[in-house]
Amino acid sequence: MKNHYNTQEEKYEYIAKQHGGYYRHDFTDHAYLYNLYFPPKEVFTHLKDNINNLVLNYPMAQDALAELIGSIIIQPTERIIVGNGAAEIIKILSGSLAKKLIVPVPSFNEYANAAPEGRVVEFPLDFPSFQLDVDKFADEAIKVGADIAVVVTPNNPTSMLVPKADLIRLAKKLEPSKCMLVVDESFLDFADNKEQISLEQDIDRYPNLAILKSMSKAYGICGLRIGYMLTANPEFAQAVRNGIHIWNINGFAEEFLRILPQYKQEFEASCEKVKADRDLFYSQLSAIDGMTVFKPDANYIYCRLPGDALNGPEVVKRLFIKHNIYIKDSAGKTQPDADRYLRIASRTQAENIKLITVLKEVMYG
C-alpha cells in the first residue's frame, strides 16, 4: 500500500485524520482502546481453518446471532439486538429513534455525531471532578423532553464509573416521563467487581433500561465489528431491530461468537492482566510532577497536563513526530480547558514505561 506521506510530520497529519488501519503505519498506538491479551492464538487458528466456509457462505441473520450472544451473557434471545459494532446501534438510536437525546459530556462523541442537528442536548459533567450528578441529569432530561438518555460507564474519555445505585435511581426517575436510559457498558470488563456493577442481570426490573456494549474493546476484536444492545422492553428492542439490515454481521464475526464460550477462562485472565498493567501505569503517571491523573476504571487513563506544560494537541504531535507514539488529546470535546487533557490507552508494561519517559521529555518542549 502506498504511503500518503514522506516525512514524520506528514505521517502525523495523515494518521490524525484516520479512524483505524493503524497497524499498516508502524507506530505505537496508545490511542485506541482494546484488550491486547485476547483473543488467544487458537481463535485465529480456528478462523483460518474455516476460512473457505466463512468466505463462501451467507452468515446467519439477527435471531440466530442474538441466540449466540444470549448464550454468552445468559439472556433470552428476544432481548438482544446484535450490531455491526456498537456504532451501528448508536446510529439507529441517535440517528433515527431519538426525538431528543441527552448525553453527559465529555463523552464518546459518536452519540452526538450520529444525531440530526438540534436533537442532542449535551449535559456538562461536574467540573473539575467529571462526576455525573444523576439527579441533576434526570431533571435536565425531563425538562428538555428527552426520550433517550445515554450514560457511558466507565466513561470515555474520563475512564470513570457511574455507581450502579446512581444508575438505578436515574432509570427510576426517568421512567414516568417515558425516557429510555441507555447505559453503555463497553469498558466495564476492565472495572473491579464487574458482575456486581453491571446492570445486565437486573435488566428485567427496569422497563426503560437498555444496555449497549461494544465487544471490540474488551475482546480485542476491533476488526470483526460486533456490538449488542440488551433490553427487556420489547417495543424498544423491536424499534432498534427494525433499523438493522438482514446480514449485518459477517461470517468471521459470527464464528467468533460461536466459539467464544470455550474461552471464558482465557478472557477473564486477559482482563486481569489489562487491569494489572493499567494500575501500575496509573501510579507511574501520577508520579509526574504537576500532572492531575484521574483514577481509571477502564483500560485507559485521563490526565490534565501541568499548568506550565505545552497544551494537549502540541504534546500529542511532538510525541508522535519525535517518538512515533500516538495518544489522544481532548481538544474538540465539550468541556472546559479541553486542550489541557490527554487520554492515554494502557498497553504492555514496557510500552507504558517508555511512554512515561518520553512524555516527560516532550511536554515542556
Bridging pattern class, strands 209-214 and 180-184: parallel
Taking the C-alpha atoms of residue 100 and residue 199, their distance in angstroms, rounded to an integer, is 24
- Taking 90 as the threshold, does the pLDDT of residue 31 lie above it? yes
Question: What are the tens digits of pLDDT across the range 101-160?
Answer: 999 999 999 999 999 999 999 999 999 999 999 999 999 999 999 999 999 999 999 999
Percentage of the chain beyond pLDDT 70 is 99
| pTM of the predicted model over 0.85 | yes
> CB atoms < 10 A from the CB of 216, how many?
22
- Taking 60 as the threshold, does the pLDDT of residue 66 lie above it? yes
Question: Grid coordinates standing for 259?
Answer: 466459539
- Taking 70 as the threshold, does the pLDDT of residue 193 lie above it? yes
The secondary structure of 259-299 as a DSSP string is HGGGGHHHHHHHHHHHHHHHHHHHHHHHTSTT-EEPPPSSS
What structural domains does the chain harbor?
Answer: 8-40+265-362 (3.90.1150.10), 41-262 (3.40.640.10)
Q: How far is CA 264 from CA 1, 82, 261, in A?
A: 37, 20, 6
pLDDT of 228 reads: 98
pLDDT band at 4 (very low <50, low <70, confident <90, very high): confident
Q: Are 247 and 59 in contact (CB under 8 A)?
A: yes
Helix (H/G/I), strand (E/B), else coil: 195: helix
Rounded average pLDDT over 47-63: 97
pLDDT of 125 reads: 98
- Taking 60 as the threshold, does the pLDDT of residue 1 lie above it? no
pLDDT, mean over the chain: 97
> CB atoms < 10 A from the CB of 32, how many?
15
Rounded average pLDDT over 334-350: 97
- Taking 70 as the threshold, does the pLDDT of residue 177 lie above it? yes
Rounded average pLDDT over 7-22: 95
Strands lying side by side in the sheet with 341-345: 292-293, 300-304, 341-345, 328-329
Rounded average pLDDT over 2-8: 88
- Taking 90 as the threshold, does the pLDDT of residue 206 lie above it? yes
pLDDT of 336 reads: 96
pLDDT of 328 reads: 97
Question: What are the tens digits of pLDDT across the range 283-320?
Answer: 999 999 999 999 999 999 999 999 999 999 999 999 99
Rounded average pLDDT over 348-352: 98
